[in-house]
Amino acid sequence: MSGFRHVVVFRWREDATEEQIRTLGERLNELPGAIPELRAYAVGADAGMNPGNADFAVVADFADRDAFLVYRDHPTHRKVIDECVTPIVAERSAVQYSL
């Protein structure tokens, strides 16, 4: 497989609610319908099996770097970040790489 992958993990603030996290997951899962550049998209909460893990992850695959940039800057994606991620995020870490 060739392409470009974006992986991001989050740790939530102590006061993040289950409802906020559930809403975020729902909103993120709507993005493939709004952003055709997404080839594959998976989001989910940590399974809680290992201490010290992040709380939530997003893995997104694209045809190339340009397609990732469309996603990164897409207004629907930016709105989800502004409305759902920013209010609850304590830490964010991401990596992008060629497949």
Q: Looking at residue 48, which CATH number applies to its domain?
A: 3.30.70.100
Note the pTM of the prediction, 2 decimals. Answer: 0.94
> What value does the mean pLDDT of the chain take?
97
What is the rounded CA–CA span in Å between residue 10 and residue 97?
18
99 occurs within a structural domain:
no
12: how many CB neighbours lie within 10 A of its CB?
20
Overall domain count for the chain: 1
pLDDT mean over 12-38:
98
Cβ(22)–Cβ(78) under 8 Å?
Answer: no
**Residue range(s) defining the domain that contains residue 21:** 4-93
Task: Read off the pLDDT of each residue in 25-50 and give the average, rounded to a whole number.
Answer: 97
The secondary element (H helix, E strand) that includes residue 25 is helix 18-34
pLDDT per position as a tens digit, 69-90: 999 999 999 999 999 999 999 9
